[in-house]
Chain A
Amino acid sequence: MATVTIRPESTHGRVVPAFLVIGWGWIARNPAAAVAPILLPFIFLYFLRIIAPASLFPLEVIGAMLFTTQNIGSWVLGDSATWRIECALQDLFVASPMSKLRYLLGIAVSNLIAAAPALVVLSVVLAYELPTPPPWYAWGVLVGVIGVLWVLFSAVGVAISSRVRSQREIWPVGNLTFTCLGMLSPLYYPLAVLPPLWQDVARFFPATYAALLLQGVFGVSPAPPLELAADSGLLVLSAVVGIAIALRLYRWRGG
């Protein structure tokens, strides 16, 4: 009788390419799915362009980029909860060689595809609207900040998804959580214009440091290098704490 040998590398699977295919397949089948999720930040931007001083527009474009990145968490929540509740796929994922961290990475990559066009368009708008050219490293900082928020909010989304009990809860829970997080942080307005209590509360959210850092680096709200370094440190620290809490809350088995 022949013996079947499983090669060690095959037990790792190819999580990221597989989820990339899933993400692209969804967009290819439903073009509106690529437009609708990114629509809200643009709608806010359009509204703010009308009601707010024009000088704030570059700041608002940066805010729209961060809000779009943050919304990836809401889409991760939606996908993960739908696969678990409606498609009953969670047991399959748990039984597979894929760990919960690789699942998180995969589903985050899958949803980054939907956000990527918006981030590119907003980058072009930002480059066009900036009053002075930013330093060479500003775009690198932007990519890094978006990367940190992408991982953080994907972890938050996947954690909440494991606690959602019905299909009908998914949209309202995601909408409430991520919109509140977006509004409490000064993404679309300067931190200084908020009431003092709100400013204090905002300091607990990683997106606040992301916004302050980018506003400083791009010269929208100039800040001394030491302050920018502090914002970077606090962004990374709060993101690490947020990811740790999210992974602790996430129910991989038996959710």
Chain B
Amino acid sequence: MRSEPALPTLPPALFRGLGAFFATELRVQLHERMAIVTSITVQVVLLIFVRILAPGLWSVALFGAVIFSFFTLGQRVLNEAAYIRVDHRLNQLYLASPLTPESYFLGLSLGVLVAYLLPIGVLVAVAVVTVPAPAILWVALPFLALAVFAFSASIGYIVSTQFRDMRAIWSYASLLYNFFGVLPPVFYPVGDVPSAVRVPVLLLPPSGASALLQSFLGTAHLTGGEVALTTLALAVESVGALVLAMIWARRTVQEA
């Protein structure tokens, strides 16, 4: 009896099912119009505060809102991954399929990202109209935003695997994302934080990305070393978290 020669396992096999997971998640998310509309509620509230009480910080707060929006997409990934696993109990089905856990994580994250681009686009449009920003900022913005998203979505996915109760998720996820998204100088100038915590602030992805944007806007002064440190930290943290989340996804399959 002749058997067909096995197809060589190429790197793309690692992402088998990516398109299916992406399309499914995008479709699911697009049904949640109310969630998409309300995804920038906190950002709008903080922008209102700034507009009324400190209009001079408008440009900082507006670009901070864009970065914060990408950061909080990790919370959506967390919620969605936990919802699929805890409430729908679909994980077992996915794991039994020939689709890979890496593509599940990436497809889910990309689906969330694309679905939520519209409200973020509104913030960017307001920035285009109201803030005279230099070209370098517009070039850097997509890279910084995607780096923050990659970090945030990866952490969200890893954390989601630790939950057993849907009602507990909102509390912990909200703590995690609001704590790291609003307390550091994302919406306000990095120069307002004490010098003792300046380095940790630059190492945190949302505040690091925001600090770089502020330096492009001219509202914060970063030294050459600080720019290099922040850029390097952001690159290492986003790629590192992404790889860790994929390893984590594979590990959860093996433990199942």
Verify A169–B34 contact, CB threshold 8 A. Answer: yes
B236 at the interface (CB under 8 A from A): no
CA distance in complex: A47, B34 (Å): 27
B38 in contact with A35 (CB, 8 Å): no
Known contacts: A32-B171, A172-B32. The answer to whether A51 contacts B45 by CB under 8 A is: no
Determine how close the nearest CB of chain B comes to the CB of A186; give it in whole angstroms: 10
In chain B, what residue has the closest Cβ to A178? B41
- Contact A33:B171 (CB < 8 A) given known A46-B183, A52-B54: yes
Interface size on A, residues (CB 8 A): 34
Question: Mask for B174-198, Cβ within 8 A of A = 1, else 0?
Answer: 1100110011000110001000000
Assembled-state Cα–Cα distance A50/B35 (Å): 30
Q: Determine how close the nearest CB of chain B comes to the CB of A233; give it in whole angstroms.
A: 28
Residues from chain A with Cβ under 8 Å of B50 in the complex: 51
Interface centre among A32, A173, A176 (most CB of B within 10 A): A32
Can you name the residue of chain A whose Cβ is closest to the Cβ of B35? A172
Inter-chain CB contacts under 8 Å: number: 87
Q: Which of B32, B38, B54, B183 is in CB contact (< 8 Å) with A51? A: B54
Q: How far is the CA of A207 from the CA of B165 in the complex (A)?
A: 34
Q: Could you say which residues of chain B place their CB within 8 Å of the CB of A128?
A: none
Q: Give bound CA distance, A26 to B193, whole Å.
A: 37
Asked whether A44 is an interface residue with its Cβ less than 8 Å from the other chain, the reply is yes
Complex contact B172–A32 (CB within 8 A):
yes
Residue A205 interfacial (CB < 8 Å): no
State whether B35 touches A171 (Cβ < 8 A): yes
What residues of chain B lie closer than 8 Å to A48, measured between beta carbons? 49, 53
Quick check: is A148 within 8 A (CB to CB) of the other chain?
Answer: no
Contact at B178–A172, with CB atoms within 8 Å? Answer: no
> A183 touching B48 by the CB < 8 A rule?
yes
Distance of A211 Cα from B154 Cα, bound (Å): 42
Which chain B residues (35-91) contact chain A, with CB distance < 8 Å? 35, 37-38, 41-42, 45-46, 48-50, 52-54, 57, 83, 87
B34 in complex: contacting residue of A46, A172, A189, CB < 8 Å: A172
Which residues 186-201 of A have a CB within 8 angstroms of B?
188-189, 193-194
A40 contacts across to B, CB distance below 8 A: 42, 174, 178
Complex contact A36–B49 (CB within 8 A): no
A175 at the interface (CB under 8 A from B): yes
| Bound-complex Cα distance A231 to B46 (A) | 28
- Min CB–CB distance A173 → chain B (angstroms): 6
Instruction: Look across to chain A and name the residue whose beta carbon is closest to the beta carbon of B87.
Output: A167
Q: Which residues of B contact A188 (CB under 8 A)?
A: 49
**Which residue of chain B has its CB nearest to the CB of A50?**
B188
Q: Which residues of B contact A189 (CB under 8 A)?
A: 49, 52-53
Chain A nearest Cβ from B177, distance in angstroms: 10
* A242 part of interface (Cβ distance < 8 Å): no
CB within 8 Å for A32 and B32 given contacts A43-B178, A52-B53: no
A205 smallest CB distance to B (angstroms): 15
Binary per-residue interface labels of chain A (159-183) against chain B in the complex, 1 for a CB within 8 Å, 0 otherwise: 0000000011101110110010001
Report if B2 contacts A (CB, 8 A).
Answer: no
The minimal Cβ–Cβ distance linking A85 to chain B, given in whole angstroms, is 12
Give the shortest distance, in Å, between B90 (CB) and chain A (any CB).
15
For A47, the chain B residues whose CB sits under 8 A away are: 46, 49, 182, 187-188
Pair B170/A36 contact, Cβ less than 8 Å: yes
Q: Tell me whether B135 is interfacial, beta carbon within 8 Å.
A: no
A56 proximal to B (CB < 8 A)? yes
Please judge, given known A-B contacts A51-B53, A82-B167, A189-B52, whether A39 and B178 are in contact too, CB under 8 Å: yes
Contact, CB under 8 Å: B52 / A176 = no
Chain A positions within 8 Å of B, measured between CB atoms, are 26, 30, 32-33, 35-37, 39-40, 43-44, 46-48, 50-53, 56, 82, 167-169, 171-173, 175-176, 179, 183, 188-189, 193-194
Residues of B within 8 A of A (CB): 32, 34-35, 37-38, 41-42, 45-46, 48-50, 52-54, 57, 83, 87, 165, 167-168, 170-172, 174-175, 178-179, 182-183, 187-188, 192
Cross-chain pairs A/B with CB under 8 angstroms, 20 sampled: A33-B167, A36-B172, A40-B178, A43-B178, A43-B182, A43-B183, A47-B182, A48-B53, A52-B49, A167-B87, A171-B35, A172-B35, A172-B37, A172-B38, A175-B38, A176-B34, A176-B41, A183-B45, A183-B48, A188-B49
